[in-house]
């Protein structure tokens, strides 16, 4: 009984049954301005809209009627909002609108309209925004502003919604309902932001603290700042490229990028120096390609949040590693159980999907050759996994350069950045190979316990690769959803 | 090691892999596009501090600014009970101006904080009294206001609450006494508007107008200016002078462009002037802005006069009733009047009796009389109709009701009907809600 | 076992009780304004009738005359258009002088205002072009005033019939030479002297947050002039000393008490709604619950209200300062404060060993008729000093507060020192020497009447 009463009371609209509440989440990106507009209608305004929604007069609103109403209301909302970018009025393009109902007080419903709005326009100096949609009705009015790839001067509006986008209104006696109807965002310089929108853990990996981390962060800022330099001279450009190499190298030092996995792989498979080179080259190629593709896609699709793409790429990277790990595990198990020389003719079944052709029918040394082919495929897979998730700063550099019409310069910088990464990873790989060889010799010299452990190494490392890959995938999945 | 095929194979592999990576990236990007963008997880970023305004005393600026100043002060000095009390009173005032009842909750909490610090302080008691009156708890309001007066005999605001509450409780002599004292202590818009209402209820429309004009001269904030002009308009409207009423409503809107009562006033004047289509458009805008029960009923009556279906408006009204019931609020007066005119007379009687038992004022007496009459109990109705009209109030609707009751009883009703014509030549029995004094 | 059951059932009972209690509070009606009942405004802003400060000093450039000044309308935002601040045309603005110490006015100067509005309904603008003189055609709105004087001997006489109020300063584009407009607005008085009414800079400088002490705050956040950049409406009058001295003789009777009041029109006659003498009286002298009473009565009734006297003799501020700064509060009852705020300083009145500014020092005054009352007291016989000290009497500069009040007196720091007993001991309390850390007005005072700086035309938050 009591809980029933409580439920009924708790369901009351916190801002009163009369209110229509507005949220505008602005996001300024290099090539566009995006607004996630949310309108929260309390019980009475929801009821007042009912006859307009229910066009066929059936007494209930069908999904089709709701969709039509949402679309037309979002269009009206877009018309009632004024967006002025760099002094020129711009009109919103309305994305897929949605209308949801929630049970309210007194057996009535409340409703929530979401309008994804975007305007494909590059901002160089300012974004002025004002919202007069249902301006005369009482209610909460909130604006937030974030940016990605563009640095904004402090505007007076927060970056995070205090009401969780009209889901939870703060209950503060010393705060009046927000009444933020307009805001002017100013671009601070033309430099892209060093610290753009908040992003998921899969993207930045672990941050590095201490003096090294600080130095890297400073370098990072210098680098991203270089893109926006008002006049680009040849020495400045070269300096930027050099910096990009250093930064890439530094970036690869930060935990992540499959270094642990690579280490485990190389150690477990008794890799050679060449293998380290293969990983480095693949990372560079994948990273550069990945940044270019993601950059292209993000600027082409307005409603896309960069962080979500990166999360999904992280997921793919994790899955790829896991696949490599499973393959390793399989071959390790087979290697132990069946011994050598029985691998003939089995090569076909494994390589598919990776498309690597290996020499068939080469008579002698077949088994070893095949094993090497497998190994290389695994290495390349790991390289791809390591380079698949673009580094945020590389992405910012590319987007910033594109926004300033210096796309090729941006591409060059991204390439240099990848080169730097490759250098570090290769160096690490070489170091590991050396280390592994030593260990191997040690194991060969002393049979017994150590030898048995060394013999078990492939199985152990393979398991480790699977676990790490799966972990990465799960973490990215959590970030993506 | 020396396999000639190897380099070629590696290049091919790399190319295929590159294409594969590209395709994968595209596929994943497309997948992400179809899914809703993830919420920002980190709150790191711009941290904008609260905008600290210069702390101006409440008298120097508008209400919103006063509230801002008090909030800033209380963030610094959470133990200032006077500031909490002022904030509570300001929230009550905001509830009145915006018709947003959520301010009452805030006022309640602020006054609780004040009372915890200084329960017997006059400012705290006055704030609590004002809140009780805002919530229609008039007996409680009187009790609290009396205690405030005892704590500070020179405080004018407590006399203001006392005036309001006594008026609603039908204690007109006490109300007149309180407002007289209030005017002694603090002549100005707050006391003049109350004195004007007191004069109006006595039937002294000239004094009522003069006092409102004095209040208008004294009014400083745009909201107060709009309030005075609006009630000057209402006085004219109830006397049948639609032209002057329109002028006053327009003047009110000049000082406060979004003053909803004046927008409703314009629609009312249009309806009574026979311009029903214009009135309906006006009411539609008013109800879209602020769906108060009073506006909804007026709109419904205009729609009925136009031969249109008022069903949507009545549904809205019923929703309000559900909401109020869910919030534990009783609004019997609105329902007594509505059911008598447009619904079930039996229900009207129940509501009217409940209302009259709580607040035996002239409006409740009229509602009860009319409900009883509609329910076929005209004989029972007559004493209440007499009570509703005994003080000489120029309320054409009450006198029309009395006339109808007298007519039903076969007694002389000609005096009542001639008074209706005298007080308000534009009175329309088809639009009773529009003749209701508020 | 039984014990455990009991305990458990008690807990369950407690939870149920708490739940029902909370659901009851949640169920309290939170809407109420649903049905129509007429709700008039309750707390109406009325700054036009709000007294802010009173000043009284021997004119530094005309030592044979005294200057009295009072300000209204606190916190005028300079960019206040298009409806600029004005005097209330329904009110009477008074400066009152008690020269015999009985708490009743012996001389009253009264200003009343009327509007001259040529804007019509077509424009809200104050002016439609540059205003270069007070009678400029472009000035569409101006206020005029009548100045009346009351004395017991002569009753009411009209001194000025058609004075012009110095307009609100609407900026250099509209008023290229505001100083000229100010100069033109000064009216000569018949029989010597001059008067001024109009907008001016808020000359009071202080950090109001000092009084956070009274509400549980401390002195950690001071040093910011709360009133900086705002304007007020000022009324000033400069008259020969003899005109306000008892029996017209400033030599024998040099002490006067000064306060200002505002009276508002009501259908039953004018009512006093505001009164001011000493600065910071609400913070130091009058308890909050008596503020309305104090504003309504005349000074002769002050002593009959025990709470007023008690607040002065048992002040709250020193106790709070003791709690925070460990500066011992002086022993009560504080008869020294009674002298400063209610009687004026004279050996006959209390412990302060000086004869400074009580009407009881006037030679022709009947000591038996003397009544303690709150007003600003000035001994006009003390000549103006060339180098005034902001701490006034406490720093040995007898020309300053609490002997009258000059524009540059740091009344907040003086009051803080005074409540800590500095007037009685003759020594400043070092721990509070910094006071509110606001020691002077942001704009310099003028050398000639009305001394108060010209009004600002720059919005406060744009400074």
Question: Cα(C336)–Cα(C351) distance, rounded to whole angstroms?
Answer: 6
**What residue of C is the nearest CA neighbor of A4?**
C23
Question: Cα(C218)–Cα(C326) distance, rounded to whole angstroms?
Answer: 13
- Judged by CB atoms closer than 8 Å, whether chains meet at C23 and A12 is answered as no
- Report residue A371's pLDDT band, with 50, 70 and 90 as the boundaries: low
Residue A337's pLDDT is 46
- Judged by CB atoms closer than 8 Å, whether chains meet at B109 and A173 is answered as yes
Residue A22's pLDDT is 95
Question: Cα(B72)–Cα(B63) distance, rounded to whole angstroms?
Answer: 14
Please give the full DSSP string across B175-230, using - where no structure is assigned. Answer: HHHHHHHHHHH--SHHHHHHHHHHHHHTT-HHHHHHHHHHHHHH--SHHHHHHHHH
Residues of B in contact with A145 (CB under 8 A): 46
Could you give the count of Cα atoms lying within 13 Å of A102 in the half-sphere of its Cβ?
13
Q: Which CATH architecture has domain B331-435?
A: Alpha Horseshoe (1.25)
- Could you count the other beta carbons within 10 Å of the beta carbon of residue C420? 25
**What residue of C is the nearest CA neighbor of A8?**
C27
Residue A478: partners with Cβ closer than 8 Å, 6 or more residues away: none
- Judged by CB atoms closer than 8 Å, whether chains meet at C30 and A12 is answered as yes
With 60 as the cut, is the pLDDT of residue A302 above it? no
Lowest mean pLDDT among B68-72, B236-240, C69-73, C291-295: B68-72
Q: What is the rounded average pLDDT for all residues in chain A?
A: 73
With 90 as the cut, is the pLDDT of residue B154 above it? yes
Q: Which of A146, A316, A358 sits opposite B28 (nearest CB)?
A: A316
Residue C374's pLDDT is 94
- Judged by CB atoms closer than 8 Å, whether chains meet at B13 and A48 is answered as no
Residues of A in contact with C22 (CB under 8 A): 6
CATH 1.25.40.10 in chain B is located at: 1-198, 331-435
- Three-class SS state of C392: helix
* A14 in contact with C, Cβ within 8 Å: no
- Enumerate residue ranges in chain C where pLDDT < 70: 1-37, 79-83, 121-124, 214-221, 461-463
| CATH class for the domain made up of B1-198 | mainly alpha
Give residue for tokens 């005393």.
Answer: B57
- Judged by CB atoms closer than 8 Å, whether chains meet at A2 and C30 is answered as no
Model pTM?
0.71
pLDDT in tens, A75-123: 999 999 999 998 899 999 999 999 999 988 878 889 999 999 999 988 8
* C30 in contact with A, Cβ within 8 Å: yes
Segment B315-334 mean pLDDT: 82
Residue B438's pLDDT is 64
Between A75 and A389, residue with greater pLDDT = A75
Residues of C in contact with B93 (CB under 8 A): 41-43
Give residue for tokens 């209110």.
Answer: A19
Distance of alpha carbon A269 from the chain centroid = 32
- Three-class SS state of A438: helix
Residue A387's pLDDT is 73
- Judged by CB atoms closer than 8 Å, whether chains meet at C19 and A9 is answered as no
Chains that touch C (3 or more CB pairs under 8 A): A, B
With 80 as the cut, is the pLDDT of residue A173 above it? no
With 70 as the cut, is the pLDDT of residue A262 above it? no
pLDDT in tens, A120-144: 988 888 899 999 999 888 888 999 9
Residues of C in contact with A9 (CB under 8 A): 23, 26-27
Instruction: Report residue A208: phi and psi, to 5°.
Output: -100, 125
Residue A57's pLDDT is 83
- Judged by CB atoms closer than 8 Å, whether chains meet at A9 and C23 is answered as yes
Residue B94: partners with Cβ closer than 8 Å, 6 or more residues away: B63, B64, B67, B100, B103
- Judged by CB atoms closer than 8 Å, whether chains meet at B14 and A158 is answered as no
Residue C55's pLDDT is 97
Residues of B in contact with A106 (CB under 8 A): 319, 322-326
Q: Which of C29, C33, C74 sits opposite B57 (nearest CB)?
A: C74
- Judged by CB atoms closer than 8 Å, whether chains meet at C28 and B328 is answered as yes
Q: Which of B18, B48, B74 sits opposite A154 (nearest CB)?
A: B48
With 60 as the cut, is the pLDDT of residue A416 above it? yes
- Judged by CB atoms closer than 8 Å, whether chains meet at A380 and B41 is answered as no
Between C172 and B55, residue with greater pLDDT = C172
- Report residue A218's pLDDT band, with 50, 70 and 90 as the boundaries: low
The whole-angstrom distance between B282's CA and the closest CA on chain A is 14
ipTM of predicted assembly, 2 dp: 0.85
Distance of alpha carbon B219 from the chain centroid = 20
Q: Are B355 and B364 in contact (CB under 8 A)?
A: yes
Q: Which of B80, B154, B223 sits opposite C296 (nearest CB)?
A: B154
Please give the full DSSP string across A240-304, using - where no structure is assigned. Answer: HHHHHHHHHHHHHHSS-TTHHHHHHHHHHHT--HHHHHHHHHHHHHHHHHHHHHHHHHHHH-TT-
Segment A418-434 mean pLDDT: 80
Q: What is the rounded average pLDDT for all residues in chain B?
A: 85
Q: Are B335 and B349 in contact (CB under 8 A)?
A: no
Q: Are C321 and C210 in contact (CB under 8 A)?
A: no
Percent of chain B with pLDDT over 90: 68
Q: Which of A158, A311, A313 sits opposite B46 (nearest CB)?
A: A158
The whole-angstrom distance between A311's CA and the closest CA on chain B is 9
- Report residue A322's pLDDT band, with 50, 70 and 90 as the boundaries: confident
Q: Are B70 and B87 in contact (CB under 8 A)?
A: yes
Residue C154's pLDDT is 92
Q: Angle at the Cα of B178 (from B176 to B182), degrees rounded to 5?
A: 115
Residue A301's pLDDT is 62
- Three-class SS state of B54: coil
Residues of B in contact with C30 (CB under 8 A): 101-102, 104-105, 108, 327-329
* C461 in contact with A, Cβ within 8 Å: no
Q: Among C44, C298, C308, C459, pick the best mutation site for testing chain B contact (most B Cβ within 10 A).
A: C44
- Three-class SS state of A350: helix
- Judged by CB atoms closer than 8 Å, whether chains meet at A6 and C20 is answered as no
Q: Are B379 and B409 in contact (CB under 8 A)?
A: yes
**What residue of B is the nearest CA neighbor of A306?**
B37
Residue C120's pLDDT is 75
**What residue of B is the nearest CA neighbor of A20?**
B289
Paired tokens of A47? 């009821």
Paired tokens of C344? 């004026």
Closest CA to C196 of C93, C280, C78, C272: C93
pLDDT in tens, A189-201: 544 433 333 333 3
Residues of A in contact with B106 (CB under 8 A): 173
Percent of chain A with pLDDT over 70: 64
- Judged by CB atoms closer than 8 Å, whether chains meet at C37 and B438 is answered as yes
Residues of B in contact with C295 (CB under 8 A): 154
* C27 in contact with A, Cβ within 8 Å: yes
Residue B395's pLDDT is 95
- Judged by CB atoms closer than 8 Å, whether chains meet at C27 and A9 is answered as yes
Residue A298's pLDDT is 67
Give residue for tokens 């904080």.
Answer: B113
Q: Are C420 and C318 in contact (CB under 8 A)?
A: yes
Residues of A in contact with C461 (CB under 8 A): none
Chains that touch B (3 or more CB pairs under 8 A): A, C
Q: Are B335 and B353 in contact (CB under 8 A)?
A: no
The whole-angstrom distance between A453's CA and the closest CA on chain B is 29
Residues of C in contact with A16 (CB under 8 A): 31
- Judged by CB atoms closer than 8 Å, whether chains meet at B45 and A313 is answered as no
- Could you count the other beta carbons within 10 Å of the beta carbon of residue B3? 14
* A12 in contact with C, Cβ within 8 Å: yes
Longest dimension (CA), chain C: 102
Question: Cα(A470)–Cα(A362) distance, rounded to whole angstroms?
Answer: 37
């Amino acid at each position: 009984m009591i809980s029933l009463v409580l439920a009924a009371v708790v369901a009351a609209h916190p801002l009163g049954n009369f209110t229509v509440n507005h949220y505008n989440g602005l996001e300024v990106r290099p090539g566009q301005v995006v607004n996630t507009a949310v309108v929260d209608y309390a019980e009475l305004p929801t009821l007042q809209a009912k006859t307009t929604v229910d066009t066929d007069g059936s007494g209930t609103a069908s999904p089709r009627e709701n969709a039509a109403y949402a679309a037309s209301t979002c269009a009206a909302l877009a018309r009632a909002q004024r967006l002025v970018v760099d002094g020129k009025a711009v009109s919103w393009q309305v994305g897929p609108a949605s209308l949801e109902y929630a049970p309210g007080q007194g057996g009535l419903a409340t409703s929530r309209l979401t309008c994804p709005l975007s305007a494909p326009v590059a901002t160089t100096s300012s974004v002025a925004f004002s919202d007069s949609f249902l301006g005369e009705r009482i209610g909460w009015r909130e604006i937030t502003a974030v940016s990605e790839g563009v640095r904004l001067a402090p505007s007076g509006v927060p970056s995070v919604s205090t009401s969780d986008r009209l889901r939870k209104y703060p209950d503060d006696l010393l705060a009046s309902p927000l009444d933020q109807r307009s805001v002017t965002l100013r671009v601070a310089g033309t430099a892209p932001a060093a610290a753009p929108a908040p992003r998921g853990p899969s993207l930045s990996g672990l941050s590095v603290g201490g003096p090294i981390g600080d130095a890297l962060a400073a370098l990072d800022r210098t680098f991203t700042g270089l893109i926006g330099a008002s006049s680009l001279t040849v020495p400045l450009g070269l300096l930027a490229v050099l910096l990009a190499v250093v930064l890439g190298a530094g970036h690869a030092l930060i935990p992540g990028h499959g270094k642990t996995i690579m280490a485990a792989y190389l150690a477990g498979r008794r890799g050679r120096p060449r293998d380290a080179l293969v990983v480095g080259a693949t990372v560079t190629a994948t990273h550069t390609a990945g940044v270019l593709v993601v950059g292209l896609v993000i600027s082409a699709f307005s409603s896309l949040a960069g962080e979500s793409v990166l999360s999904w790429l992280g997921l793919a990277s994790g899955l790829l590693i896991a696949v490599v790990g499973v393959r390793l595990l399989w071959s390790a198990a087979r290697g132990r159980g069946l011994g050598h020389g029985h691998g003939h003719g089995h090569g076909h079944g494994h390589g598919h999907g990776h498309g690597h052709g290996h020499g068939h029918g080469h008579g002698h040394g077949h088994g070893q050759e095949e094993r090497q082919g497998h190994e290389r495929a695994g290495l390349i897979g790991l390289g791809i996994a390591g380079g698949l998730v673009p580094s945020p700063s590389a992405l910012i550099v590319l987007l910033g350069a594109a926004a300033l019409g210096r796309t090729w310069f941006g591409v060059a910088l991204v390439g240099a950045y990848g080169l730097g990464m490759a250098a570090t990873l290769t160096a690490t790989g070489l170091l590991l190979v050396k280390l592994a060889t030593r260990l191997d010799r040690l194991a060969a010299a002393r049979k017994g316990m150590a030898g048995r452990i060394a013999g078990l190494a492939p199985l152990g490392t393979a398991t480790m690769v699977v676990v790490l890959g799966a972990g990465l995938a799960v973490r990215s999945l959590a970030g993506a959803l | 090691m020396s396999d000639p095929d190897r380099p070629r194979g590696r290049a091919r592999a790399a190319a295929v892999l590159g294409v594969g990576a590209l395709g994968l990236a595209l596929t994943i990007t497309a997948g992400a596009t179809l899914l809703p963008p993830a919420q920002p997880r980190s709150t790191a970023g711009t941290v904008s501090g609260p905008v600290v305004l210069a702390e101006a005393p409440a008298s120097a600026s508008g209400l919103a600014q006063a509230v801002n100043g008090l909030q800033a002060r209380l963030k610094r000095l959470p133990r200032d009970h006077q500031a909490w009390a002022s904030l509570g009173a300001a929230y009550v005032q905001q509830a009145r101006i915006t018709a947003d009842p959520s301010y009452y909750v805030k006022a309640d909490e602020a006054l609780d904080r004040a009372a915890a610090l200084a329960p017997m302080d006059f400012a705290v008691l006055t704030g609590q009294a004002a809140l009780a009156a805002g919530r229609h708890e008039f007996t409680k309001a009187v009790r609290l206001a009396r205690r405030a007066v005892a704590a500070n005999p020179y405080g004018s605001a407590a006399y203001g609450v006392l005036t309001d509450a006594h008026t609603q409780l039908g204690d007109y002599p006490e109300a007149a006494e309180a407002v007289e004292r209030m005017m002694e202590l603090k002549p100005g818009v707050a006391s003049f508007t109350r004195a004007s209402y007191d004069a109006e209820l006595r039937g002294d429309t000239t004094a009522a107008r003069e006092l409102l004009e004095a209040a208008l001269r004294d009014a400083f904030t745009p909201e107060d200016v709009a309030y005075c002009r609006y009630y000057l308009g209402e006085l004219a409207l109830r006397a049948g002078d639609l032209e002057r009423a329109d002028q006053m409503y327009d003047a009110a809107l000049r000082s406060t462009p979004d003053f909803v009562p004046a927008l409703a006033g314009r629609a009312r004047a249009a309806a009574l002037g026979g311009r029903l289509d214009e009135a309906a458009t006006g009411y539609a805008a008013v109800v879209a802005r602020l769906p108060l029960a009073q506006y909804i009923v007026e709109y419904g009556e205009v729609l009925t006069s136009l031969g249109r279906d008022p069903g949507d408006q009545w549904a809205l009204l019923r929703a309000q009733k559900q909401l109020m019931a869910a919030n534990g609020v009783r609004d019997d007066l609105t329902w007594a009047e509505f059911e008598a005119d447009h619904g079930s007379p039996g229900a009207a009687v129940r509501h009217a009796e409940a209302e009259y038992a709580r607040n035996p004022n002239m409006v409740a007496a009229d509602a009860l009389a009319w409900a009883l009459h509609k329910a076929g109990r005209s004989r029972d109705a007559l004493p209440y109709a007499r009570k509703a009209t005994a003080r000489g109030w120029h309320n054409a609707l009450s006198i029309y009701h009395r006339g109808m009751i007298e007519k039903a009883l076969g007694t002389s009703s000609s005096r009542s009907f001639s008074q209706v014509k005298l007080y308000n030549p534009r009175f329309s029995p088809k639009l009773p809600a529009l003749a209701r004094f508020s | 076992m039984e014990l455990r059951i009991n305990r458990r059932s008690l807990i369950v009972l407690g939870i149920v009780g708490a739940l029902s209690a909370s659901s009851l509070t949640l169920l309290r009606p939170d809407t109420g304004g649903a049905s129509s009942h007429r709700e008039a405004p309750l707390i109406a802003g009325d700054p036009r009738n709000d007294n802010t400060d009173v000043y009284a000093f021997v004119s530094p450039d005309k030592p044979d005359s005294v200057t009295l000044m009072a300000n209204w309308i606190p916190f005028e935002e300079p960019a206040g258009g298009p409806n600029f601040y004005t005097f209330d045309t329904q009110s009477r603005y008074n400066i009152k002088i008690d020269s015999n110490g009985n708490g009743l006015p012996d001389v009253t100067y009264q200003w009343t205002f009327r509007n001259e509005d040529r804007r019509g309904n077509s424009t809200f603008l104050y002016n439609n072009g540059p205003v270069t003189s007070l009678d400029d055609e472009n000035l569409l709105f101006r206020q005029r005033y009548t100045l009346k004087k009351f004395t017991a001997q002569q009753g009411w006489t009209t001194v000025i019939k058609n004075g012009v109020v110095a307009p609100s300063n609407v900026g250099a584009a509209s008023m290229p030479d505001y100083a000229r407009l100010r100069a033109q607005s000064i009216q000569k008085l018949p029989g010597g002297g001059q008067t001024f009414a109009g907008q001016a800079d808020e000359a009071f400088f202080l950090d109001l947050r000092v009084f956070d002490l009274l509400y549980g705050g401390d002195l950690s956040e001071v040093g910011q002039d709360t009133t900086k950049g705002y304007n007020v409406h000022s009324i000033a009058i400069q008259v020969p000393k003899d005109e306000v001295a008892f029996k017209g003789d400033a030599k024998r009777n040099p002490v006067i008490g000064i306060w200002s009041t505002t009276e508002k029109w009501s259908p039953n006659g004018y009512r006093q709604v505001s009164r001011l003498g000493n600065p910071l009286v609400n913070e130091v002298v009058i308890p909050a619950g008596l503020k309305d009473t104090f504003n309504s009565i005349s000074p002769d009734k002050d002593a009959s209200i025990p709470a007023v006297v008690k607040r002065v003799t048992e002040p709250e501020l020193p106790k709070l300062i003791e709690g925070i700064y460990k500066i011992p509060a002086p022993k009560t009852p504080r008869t020294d404060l009674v002298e400063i705020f209610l009687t004026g300083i004279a050996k006959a009145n209390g412990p302060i060993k000086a004869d400074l500014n009580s009407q009881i020092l006037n030679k022709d005054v009947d000591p038996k008729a003397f009544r303690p009352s709150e007003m600003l007291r000035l001994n006009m016989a003390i000549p103006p000093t060339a180098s005034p000290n902001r701490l006034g009497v406490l720093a040995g500069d007898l020309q300053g507060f609490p002997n009258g009040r000059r524009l540059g007196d740091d009344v907040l720091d003086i009051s803080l020192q005074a409540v800590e007993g500095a007037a009685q001991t003759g020594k400043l309390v070092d721990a509070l020497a910094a006071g509110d850390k606001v020691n002077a007005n942001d704009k310099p005072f003028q050398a000639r009447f009305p001394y108060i700086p010209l009004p600002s035309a720059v919005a406060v938050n744009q400074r």
